[in-house]
Amino acid sequence: MNTVLITGSTDGIGKETARQLAQKGWQVILHGRSEQRCKSTVEEIRKATGNSDIKYVCADLTHFVAIRKMAEEVKAGFGSLKVLINNAGIFKPQQSFSSDGIEQTFAVNHLSYYLLTGLLLDLLIKNAPARIINVSSMAHSSQMDFDNLRGQKHYSGHEAYAQSKLANILFTFRLAEKLTGSSVTVNCLHPGVINTKLLQAGWGMGGGLVEKGAETSVYLATSSEVEKITGKYFSNNRITNPAEIASDREIQEQLWYVTAGLCGLNY
């Protein structure tokens, strides 16, 4: 059975990705912060697709303890995991911090990807060939300010978001190299400029349909064309080039080191 876990899947691109994979007969594990939203989304997708094998896990991705608990729940409840899609993302116009003392944009958009992936890596390797997919954005930054990763010096919602999306790509490229020979691939993507709550909150504008936004995630999860491809950045189902800094090995290593320290997990 093909099982996929999609973070941030009670709304927007994540929800549509879940619907499309359910339509293909996959076992889908939804994720959201609200149990009520998770339950209603499960029912909605079951009715829309006729696929009854839709489950959910609930966690606030700003909290390390919640992410660890969620990972344990997935490992205990599901013997198989073929695809992990780190899709959850937020935009915070005003600076706010998690209970772990981390700026929330950085916590959700990058640290949750790193921590959840690390905690579920054994399960993915056990079920290899398996795939890890990180949802980034063309809005990623062209530089990484390590002195202001958590908004210590100053805060801009757009800068924080852009830096977190660059972090997704740096993480993807470094992890792909670490997993060489494991039959677990790691790729990232730009979903397009899509009409989501995040786009409206951050840029005050609309965009394309969520069906289009889910397209590349679904492609990377299912297509035989990318079976052996790893460590790449995709847009519109094609490999494309991110900012030059994303390929800087020293920057990748530095971010990994900092991230491992913050999350209390190195892998």
Confidence at residue 64, expressed as pLDDT on a 0 to 100 scale: 97
Confidence at residue 266, expressed as pLDDT on a 0 to 100 scale: 98
Domains of the chain (ranges plus CATH)? 3-263 (3.40.50.720)
Question: Which residue numbers are catalytic?
Answer: 161
The mean-pLDDT minimum among 33-37, 100-104, 141-145, 195-199 falls in: 195-199
Tens digits of residue pLDDT in 24-38: 999 999 999 999 999
Which residues, including other chains, have CB under 8 Å from residue 259's CB and lie 6 or more apart?
Answer: 110, 111, 114, 167, 171
Q: Name residue 192's amino acid.
A: G
Mean pLDDT of 148-174: 92
Residue 203 has pLDDT above 60, yes or no: no
Tens digits of residue pLDDT in 109-128: 999 999 999 999 999 999 99
Give the total residue count for the chain.
Answer: 267
Tens digits of residue pLDDT in 236-252: 999 999 999 999 999 99
Distance CA 58, CA 73 (A): 10
Distance CA 63, CA 70 (A): 11
Contact in structure between 5 and 71 (CB atoms under 8 Å): no
Which residues, including other chains, have CB under 8 Å from residue 23's CB and lie 6 or more apart?
Answer: 48, 49, 51
Distance CA 91, CA 55 (A): 27
Cα angle for residues 123, 129, 132 (degrees, 5° grid):
65
Residue 194 has pLDDT above 60, yes or no: no
**pLDDT top residue among 17 and 194:** 17
Mean pLDDT of 204-228: 85
Distances (CA, A) of 114 to 16, 43, 55, 172, 224: 23, 30, 23, 9, 26
Percent composition of the chain: helix, strand, coil (DSSP 3-state, to 5): 50, 15, 35
Assigned token pair, 65: 């303890």
Residue 178 has pLDDT above 50, yes or no: yes
Mean pLDDT of 49-65: 97
